[in-house]
Amino acid sequence: MEPSVQSFWFSTPAEQGLIPCVDSVGDALRFAADLGSDDLVVLDLASGHFIDCNRSAHERLGYAREHFLTLNPAAIQADEELADDLMRDQLRAMRQQPRGSFATRHRARSGACRDVSVSYQVLDLSGRLVALVSHRDRTELDTALRESTRLGSLLQEAERLTHVGSWELNHRTGELLLSRETYSILGISPDVGAVTYGLFLGKVHPEDRALVEATFQDASRSGRPYRIEYRLLLDDGRLKVVLERGRTSLGDDGEPITTLGTVQDISEQHEIQQRLERIAFVDPLTRLPNKAAAVRQLARLLRTAGREHAIVLINLDLDNFQSINNSLGHEIGNQVLQASGSCLRHLMRPDDWLARVGSDEFILLRPVALADRLDALQWAEEIRRSLGNTPGMGTGLAVQPSASLGVALAPDHGTDPDTLLRCANTALMEAKQHGKNQLRFYTPEISLQLRERLELELSLGRAIDREQLRLFYQPQIDRGGSRIAGAEALLRWRDQSGRMVSPNVFIPLAEKTGQIHTIGLWVIEEACRQLHAWHRQGLRPGKLAINISALQLGAEHPSLSELLTGALNTYDLVPENLELEITETALLNDPDRAGEQLRQLAESGFSLAIDDFGTGYSSLAMLHSLPLDKLKIDRFFVERLGNDDADLAIVKATIVMAKELGLMTLAEGVETPEQLRMLQNLGCDQFQGFLLGRPMPAEAFGSLLSTAAAA
């Protein structure tokens, strides 16, 4: 350091040992040098040496003050090879231009390089040219700038890859700032400059515009974050689906300041989702929506239906589809389903909705005005009538198979999809119970009946094991009105709750479920066992009549006659001990087959009686061809004997006709002496009814027999 130069600029008061005196504000400013963060150096332009510096100038580069003041600009230059040349250029520039700035790189004592911006002012210090030089370290700033540029392009790249753009709306100025990707998503060139909210809204699909605007307005007022999916319709006609998210910041006065948001192009995801939906919600055979879609659609309709609206739900099941499939093959079966789908489509209005929800099951939905909902029955009836009557388009069938339909209504029967579907299905099951091509409207009673039937069916299955079945015996009296000619075995069921269930209820049920075979066999065996027991007691009950269901008659392995023979053998009985009662209606279903079976039984020696005669309108010719022994005139006619001449005529004609065919006649349900007398006068052979004896337990009937034998 040159002793002639006073180091007053950059030395501290502590270093000087006194508080400096200043003459002016200008002088005071000199002390700023050590307060600021810039490095300040005084450079002698003639020698090129540093002659003074502030603390940060030497400390930042890692030198002690004394050491630093022995250096020149070349010594702290980062590029060592060019250091001397650079210094020379800098000194020359300073001499030529007393004030200026440039950028350079310095090397600290540790070897680390720093980016520096240099500003200088040349001063005349008592005839000697010096430069006051400020070194501002830009390394951190440059790194930050570089980093932010890098982050900016990273963000841009990320936005481009994920198809997510960002934007910011200034509510005060109305200015909308868009990221590059947002421009691209909206199909706007970044060159158009400032974009307004109105311009953006113009790109939204007209059908979605109101929703987008309402959502945005609401979010801007409340400050709540929002999320909305909508479509863009770009100027070139392209359609995009986007997901927009945003949040508005509100001022203290509650007014919106800015909304920050993102917009994501989800067209591809949407397309994939739609494709998946097609797979998940469409029945591939008929191309109709499937069950899952039906549930979803019903839920949607229920959700959006106003108070004044109702929904009609039809559950439809094709009749006989299983046998078409089995007999004509699956190919035809498929064609029938497809044809049924198009047939139903023709019966629909634009607002109606159709789905295939099971193998041969369809669902139709129709939204209607609440007041018109009962018209739904007409629609259902139209469908019912049309299906069985249209030609089976391309199916090789003369007609499209008929269908059974169950109808339910919302809100009357329920307001959720599950309940409504269940109601429509209950109505459908009820329709099917009544045969083919039937239509039923849901009522709570139907549901109750079905449940009871189901419960009955379950407990009936266990009735035999639980020994809940019994046979009662009702005497059959001969023409004189006093001798027991035989008895009819009548089934009784006392269920687990102790309730007596009428055979009129459980026999038809057992026939439907197939349980009739087990029950029927139990009846045969029990009747034979009892007959055997009476025989052993020396009692003579005459013929024991057993009721036989049409299904038992038609059974094959084992056949009815095999079952009967088995029981007879076990109990040491002969066919002549039994009479088989078959209802008239059982014969009518398939007269040829029934005739064949009856002939076999008759040949084996069994007596055959036709039960409930008069209720089934069987023809004389048919009866003539069957090997029958007895006609049982139905209670219905006996009941009306005294009141109705027409019924009297029928009974009379029946008895005459039976005699001509060589058949015995038995009148059922004789309750009054008057009826008995009239029937006796008409020439009826036998009588059965409460007047002559109610159905009774075996012991009671045994006592009756012994009393009669004693008399």
User: Does the protein bind Mg ion through residue 639 (CB under 5 A)?
Assistant: no
- Contact call for residues 444 and 417 (beta carbons, < 8 A): no
* SS3 (DSSP) at 588: helix
584 binds, among Mg ion, ligand C2E, none (CB under 5 to 8 A by kind): none
Contact track, Mg ion, 571-590, x by CB under 5 A = ----------x---------
As measured in angstroms, the least distance from the Cβ of 612 to ligand C2E is: 5
Binding partner of residue 643 among Mg ion, ligand C2E, none, CB under 5 to 8 Å per kind?
Answer: none
Between 62 and 481, CB nearer to ligand C2E = 481
Residue span binding Mg ion (CB under 5 A) among the ranges 99-107, 323-331, 662-670, 686-694: 662-670
R_g of the chain, CA atoms, integer Å:
53
User: From ligand C2E, Mg ion, none, which one binds at residue 263 (CB under 5 to 8 Å depending on kind)?
Assistant: none
Nearest-approach distance from CB 505 to Mg ion, in angstroms = 16
Residue at token pair 């600021």: 36
Check: CB of residue 478 under 8 Å from CB of residue 486: no
CB of 622 to ligand C2E, least distance (A): 20
Q: With CB cut-offs between 5 and 8 Å by kind, which of Mg ion, ligand C2E, none does residue 579 bind?
A: none
- Considering the complex, what minimum distance in angstroms separates the CB of residue 679 from Mg ion? 15
181 is a site residue for Mg ion (CB under 5 A): no
C-beta of 547: minimal distance to ligand C2E in Å?
A: 4
Residue tagged 């069938």 (tokens): 397
Specify whether the CB–CB gap between 357 and 376 falls below 8 A.
Answer: no
How many Å apart are CA 103 and CA 117, to the nearest integer? Answer: 4
Considering the complex, state which of residue 54 and residue 547 has its C-beta at the smaller distance from Mg ion.
547
Interaction of residue 612 with Mg ion, rule CB under 5 A: yes
Q: Toward ligand C2E, which CB reaches closer, 430 or 581?
A: 581
Of 184, 157, 164, the C-alpha closest to 244 is 164
Give me the residue label for tokens 């034998």.
709
- Interface residue with Mg ion among 611, 675, 676, 678 (CB under 5 A) is 611
Work out how close the CB of 540 gets to Mg ion at its nearest, in angstroms, rounded to a whole number.
21
CB of 670 to ligand C2E, least distance (A): 6
* Residue 317 binds which entry of ligand C2E, Mg ion, none, CB below 5-8 Å type-dependent: none
Query: What are 283's two structure tokens?
Result: 């029945």
Q: Taking the complex as a whole, how short is the minimal distance between the CB of residue 474 and ligand C2E, in angstroms?
A: 6
Instruction: Residue 503: name its binding partner from ligand C2E, Mg ion, none (Cβ under 5 to 8 Å by kind).
Output: ligand C2E
Would you say 241 or 523 has its CB closer to ligand C2E?
A: 523
| HEC string for 109-134 | CCCCEEEEEEEEEEEEECCEEEEEEE
Which chain residues interact with ligand C2E by CB under 6 A? Answer: 474, 490-491, 502-504, 507, 523, 547-549, 581, 611-612, 635, 668-671, 688-690, 695
Q: Which of Mg ion, ligand C2E, none sits in contact with 37, Cβ below 5 to 8 A by type? A: none
Classify the C-alpha dihedral 345-347-351-357 as positive or negative. Answer: negative
Distance, CA of 667 to CA of 635 (rounded, Å): 7
Is 607 one of the binding residues for Mg ion (CB under 5 A)?
no
Q: DSSP states of 157-215 as a string?
A: HHHHHHTEEEEEEETTT--EEE-HHHHHHHT--GGG--B-HHHHHTTB-HHHHHHHHHH
> Residue 414 corresponds to which tokens in the numbers above?
């329920």
Residue 635: CB minimum distance to Mg ion, A: 7
Q: Which does 523 bind (CB under 5 to 8 A by kind): Mg ion, ligand C2E, none?
A: ligand C2E
CB 390 within 8 A of CB 399: yes
Task: Pick between residue 442 and residue 493 the one whose CB is nearest to Mg ion.
Answer: 493
The site that binds Mg ion (CB under 5 A) totals a number of residues, namely 5
The sign of the dihedral angle between the CA atoms of 140, 143, 147, 148 is positive
Q: Which does 261 bind (CB under 5 to 8 A by kind): Mg ion, ligand C2E, none?
A: none
3-state secondary structure 366-399: EEEEHHHHHHHHHHHHHHHHHHCCCCECCCCECC
> Is residue 547 near Mg ion by the rule CB under 5 A?
yes
Q: Give the C-alpha separation, 117 to 71, whole Å.
A: 19
Q: Which residues bind Mg ion (CB under 5 A)?
A: 547, 581, 611-612, 668
